[in-house]
Structure 1
Amino acid sequence: MIDAVLYRRLSPLLGALARPLVKLGIKADQVTMIGFICGLGVLPALYFQAYLWALLAIVLNRFCDGLDGAIARQNHSTDAGGFIDSVFDFIFYSSVPFGFLLADPASNAVAAGFLMLSFMATAASFLAFAVFASKHGIENPRYPTKSLYYMGGITEGFETIVAFILFCLWPQHFVVLAFSFAGLCWFTALTRLYLGYQTLHGLNAVAAERESSTDR
């Protein structure tokens, strides 16, 4: 919901941090891979209920996710880098609720499973619209340097990380927190589904009208 604002505020800082790394020859894809490996550290940490270590893994993953973008912008971003960054992000997001399932299957399994289903809904609505936005040349002024069209919602990256932090700080309340956040995710998915359909339906209607007028 506030990702665009944070993106503008943090870009200068991340750019400053990226400059010495670029001079050292460090590539964005390398930082993406390091961040992904750090992020997967949530799985063993949560399995052993080491929640502060899990929190550290989450923070490192998100820091690298911001830093790799800053490096890519200075080195000229590539579609290949954007591709692996997006794939790794979605795997990481799902690994957190799965880790809480591992931590306490008896208590957390249903809530964790429902949250992963909710993530599937937000991811599908996000990625499907991004494909058609690219096809129709729809511009996204909120994120002009991103590889994909970023469709907004009430649960974007910032809100998801806040939820993950709350999970780690209050693991005894994971079930309530997970179901609550899953509800917000479904609101986002349904909103994207409606707005995306209306947008694309409108574009198709305009295209059909142009074809019709050409044939006259």
Structure 2
Amino acid sequence: MLDQPVRRILNVPLAGAARILDRPGITPDGLTLTGLGLGLASATAAALQWWAVALVLWLVSRVIDGLDGALARRRRADGRGAPGEAGGFLDITADFVAYGAGVVGVAIGASAAFDAPWWPFLLVLFAYYVNGAAFLAFSSIAERTGRTIDDGRSLSFLGRIAEGTETITVHALWLIVPFWAAPIAVVWAAIVAVSAVQRMVVGYRALR
């Protein structure tokens, strides 16, 4: 829901940062992998109940995740970008790994520190699974049938109430108030589930 307005706000600062980072030895794929590594480190820190460290690592990982695309667009604009869509594939895969690991890390840490139940986090992972399946399947079929949605991203993205901005915010909220992580997870799982249903309905109608 918030991705488009947030992207409009961040496009200029991200482009400026990409201009600074546009140096030999720094690649979009390298930034993607760095963001993934920091995301996994954040999940590990959460599991160890190092909440502040996990929060900083999470936010930095998401900033870097935004910079990889900005750098790739900058290099494509002047003919220096790598051919193909390998970078987009790597980016979405890294996002899924970071998000899933974040849920598991918070679940482990909150369970150990606050005796939080596991089932709310399992609901989140299930909702992520259904949601991801819906929009990835739509993107693949839309590409094959010429019904793509071009909003600057590598995939034909069916935007709904739960998008990247909301996901980043909720994962950060877990780390800010980990003692409320389980009830937040219940609400978040419901929101992501609604988004999954929306994507299935809209995607089905768009492909008919």
Counterpart contact for 1:107–1:175, Cα < 8 Å = yes
Cα distance between partner residues in 1 of 2:19 and 2:51 = 33
Partner of 1:127: 136
Is 1:185 the counterpart of 2:195? The answer is: no
Partner of 2:60: 60
Paired residues, number:
199
CA deviation vs aligned residue, 1:147-185 (integer Å, no higher than 9, x gap): 111111100011111111111111111111000000000
The residue identity in structure 1 corresponding to 2:22 is V
CA deviation vs aligned residue, 1:27-64 (integer Å, no higher than 9, x gap): 10111111100010122211211111111121011101
Partner of 1:212: none
Query: What stretches of structure 2 of length at least 5 have no aligned partner?
Result: none
- Deviation of 1:25 after TM superposition, in Å, equals 4.3
Partner of 1:205: none
In proportion to residue count, which structure has more helix? 1
Counterpart contact for 1:108–1:174, Cα < 8 Å = no
Cα distance between partner residues in 2 of 1:162 and 1:82 = 22
- 1:66 aligns to what SS in structure 2? helix
CA RMSD, 1 decimal: 1.4
TM-score, normalised relative to structure 1: 0.88
The residue identity in structure 1 corresponding to 2:50 is A
CA deviation vs aligned residue, 1:66-86 (integer Å, no higher than 9, x gap): 100010001225401111111
The residue identity in structure 2 corresponding to 1:121 is V
- Deviation of 1:23 after TM superposition, in Å, equals 3.4
Structure with bigger gyration radius = 1
Alignment of 1:36-185 (within 5 A): 36-76=36-76, 78-103=84-109, 104=111, 107-141=116-150, 143=151, 145-185=152-192
Work out which structure has the larger RCO, using CA pairs closer than 8 Å and 6 or more positions apart in sequence: 2
Cα distance between partner residues in 2 of 1:63 and 1:22 = 16
Q: Give percent identity, aligned residues only.
A: 31
Partner of 1:213: none
Counterpart contact for 1:42–1:53, Cα < 8 Å = yes
Cα distance between partner residues in 2 of 1:174 and 1:83 = 30
Cα distance between partner residues in 1 of 2:59 and 2:141 = 32
- Deviation of 1:114 after TM superposition, in Å, equals 1.1
CA deviation vs aligned residue, 1:95-133 (integer Å, no higher than 9, x gap): 111012221165231111111111111111110111111
Cα distance between partner residues in 2 of 1:21 and 1:165 = 26
